[in-house]
Amino acid sequence: MHNLLIRSENTADYAVIGQVIEQAFKKQPYSSHNEHLIVAALRKANALTISLVAVLNRHIVGHVAISPVQISSGVPDWYGLGPVAVLPEWQLQGIGSALIQAALVQLKTHAAKGCVVLGDPDFYAEFGFKAAPELILENTPPEYFQALLFEGNFPQGTVTYHKAFNT
């Protein structure tokens, strides 16, 4: 998509981002339908490390968030990717992939050691994510929880997302 612009969010985008996320997850059976509230809570807690929007023809059509995660072994500089949201009418056109790629590139500049994601293993494998048995997300089938290593070795431990994910 040659007209697609990916940029950092700004305060004027907040309401639209919430609407985009809500619409993107509205008909998803695996969703808790509170993803827009999670992003708002992360923002309020100053825990949105990366928050990018996809703009097409001057309209926001997608959003990606990255926030810090805790690993029980105490290893720092690990992050969680998600939620990733694209308006339903623009899904399956590469916008989500473009957002993820841009977010991961930015994340590497934050001295991140790695990133975890909860989602479709086949889709996220395209970005280098893979199952990492060393990392555990409780109450989650391990094949749906994947990690991408930027530096060093995979740490061992239980991963905890920011408390905003309990919203």
pLDDT given at position 32: 83
78, pLDDT greater than 90: yes
Burial class (CB in 10 A: 0-12, 13-18, 19+), 77: middle
Mean of the pLDDT values across residues 71-84?
A: 96
- Kindly list the domain boundaries of the chain, sorted by start residue: 4-166
pLDDT above 70 coverage of the chain, percent: 99
Q: Which two tokens stand for residue 82?
A: 């998600």
29, pLDDT greater than 70: yes
Q: What is the pLDDT of residues 50-66, one digit of tens each?
A: 999 999 999 999 999 99
The CATH number of domain 4-166, selected from 3.30.1330.10, 3.40.630.30, 1.10.1040.10, 2.60.40.420? 3.40.630.30
C-beta of residue 112 within 8 angstroms of C-beta of residue 79: yes
- Confidence class of residue 33 from pLDDT cuts 50, 70 and 90? confident
pLDDT given at position 1: 57
The model carries a pTM of 0.94
